[in-house]
Amino acid sequence: MTRVFSGIQPTGHLTLGNYLGALRRWVETDQHQADALFCVVDLHALTVDQDPARLRRLSRQTATLMLAAGLDPEVCTVFLQSHVDEHTRLSYLLECVASDGEMRRMIQYKEKVARQQERGASVRLSLLTYPVLMAADILAYGAGEVPVGDDQVQHVELARDLAARFNQRYGHTFVVPKATRPGVAARVMNLQSPTAKMGKSDESGLGVVYLLDEPDDVRKKVMRAVTDSGRDVEYDREGRPGVANLLEILAACTGGNPEALADVYESYGALKKDTAEAVVEVLRPVQARHRELCADPAFVEGVLREGAKKARAMARPTVDAAYRAIGLLPPA
Ligand code: ATP
Ligand code: MG
């Protein structure tokens, strides 16, 4: 059976995009595959400036929300990236098979560099090498499938390339992984600027729905979503991105399909109202479970401790094999 690995960065409060694009699928299908691993990728968060106290808080909150959404530590492994040294050990070896040019071509690198420069912040070297560490996250476990939203597909392709290149140069060591993406809501867009992805480290405000938003805030954000100048409800991602985004969110929340839903609605107002209620209903059980888990922090800590132990045992043999294959002597 294929092993699954995926992760979320503790860079902000989790959004509806993280839920529909990643988390919900992990819960519904991926965790039931053999030895699935889900990781709070805290080292990745350090590719941009983070306040230490906030990072600690968000790492706990992200792990808690993963469990609240329904990841079951009895069937899968949930852990923090920084608790398993194999990720950084392997990342260095992969830096030795990756090239500077291929890193600089990564779309997300270019986007995040532009954002850093707008803020007048310097660009961390780790932002450039981030996809290599992500490749190490995946390859260390021999994961065959990586369920991600659209924005991460290019990085999984890079992990594929690095695995194949390493295997070809040094002998078969890694499983060559592939990305899997959701059929609908693979790229939830910002409600205020629907040509940009909804992201948790974006400036917040009305465009981003957070998993822990109060129902009335969700309603307000969805009702004020930017739509298009047209009048008919049509599903056209290029021409009518605002309405298409709402249709996709509604479809993802209700199990429908966006084209068919477009025929059902005659006004933007009705579409927004139903979308808002559908989102509120999807978030309700996650928020309730999150409240319960917050009352029991020792449980969450125990899950992460056990998770790290299991993850380390799974990663170790592969990473050791990579060290030997590339020509490093084992310690005496
Ligand atoms: P950041 O802004 O810090 O990059 P993010 O919201 O993009 O945060 P990540 O931690 O980078 O979140 O990604 C976690 C998972 O959520 C990935 O699988 C990613 O593809 C998915 N994801 C992120 N944003 C969206 C979105 N708007 N629509 C669908 N999937 C998304
Ligand atoms: Mg991201």
299-317 tens-digit pLDDT: 999 999 999 999 999 999 9
**More confident position, 139 or 33:** 139
Global pTM value: 0.95
CB-based contact 190:207 (threshold 8 Å):
yes
User: What is the CATH superfamily name and number for domain 215-291?
Assistant: Tyrosyl-Transfer RNA Synthetase (1.10.240.10)
Q: Count Cβ atoms within 10 A of the Cβ of residue 108 and give its class: 0-12 exposed, 13-18 middle, 19 or more buried.
A: middle
Residue 199 — pLDDT band, cuts 50, 70, 90? very high
Is there a contact between 188 and 160 (Cβ–Cβ < 8 Å)?
no
Domain ranges of the chain: 5-182+297-326, 215-291
220: annotated active-site residue: no
- pLDDT at position 7: 97
pLDDT, averaged across the chain: 95
Cβ–ligand 1 distance for 277 under 6 Å, the answer no
Structure confidence by residue, pLDDT tens digits, 270-298: 999 999 999 999 999 999 999 999 999 99
Nearest CA to ligand 1 atom 7: 199
What CATH code is assigned to 5-182+297-326? Answer: 3.40.50.620
Number of Cβ within a 10 Å radius of residue 274? 18
Cβ of 62 closer than 6 Å to ligand 1, yes or no, is no
Global ipTM: 0.99
Least confident of 65-69, 103-107, 156-160, 230-234: 230-234
Task: State whether the beta carbon of 115 lies less than 6 angstroms from ligand 1.
Answer: no
- Mean pLDDT (whole number) for 226-253: 92
Dihedral angle computed from the Cα positions of residues 94, 31, 146 and 97, in that order, rounded to the nearest 10 degrees:
10
Residue 90 to residue 81: CA distance in whole angstroms: 13
Is residue 112 lining ligand 1, measured as CB closer than 6 Å? no
* Ligand 1 pocket, mutate which of 13, 15, 18, 41 (most atoms under 8 A from CB): 18
Q: For residue 309, which phi and psi values (nearest 5 degrees)?
A: -60, -45
User: Is pLDDT above 80 for 230?
Assistant: no
The pLDDT-based confidence of 185 (bands split at 50, 70, 90) is confident
Tell me which ligand sits closest to the C-alpha of residue 188. Answer: 1
Do the Cβ atoms of 148 and 22 come closer than 8 Å?
yes
CB distance 152 to ligand 1 below 6 Å = yes
Q: Do the domains 5-182+297-326 and 215-291 sit in the same CATH topology, yes or no?
A: no
Give tens-digit pLDDT for 40-63.
Answer: 999 999 999 999 999 999 999 999
**Chain CA centroid to CA 96, Å:** 26
- Give the model's pLDDT for residue 80: 98
CA of 211 to the centre of ligand 1 (A): 13
pLDDT at 66: 98
Q: Which atom of ligand 1 is nearest to the CA of 197?
A: 27
In three-state secondary structure terms, 7 is strand
Per DSSP bridges, beta strands 77-80 and 5-8 are: unpaired
Is position 257 annotated in a ligand binding site?
no
Is 231 a residue whose pLDDT tops 80? no
Rounded-to-integer distance, Cα 245 and Cα 241, Å = 6
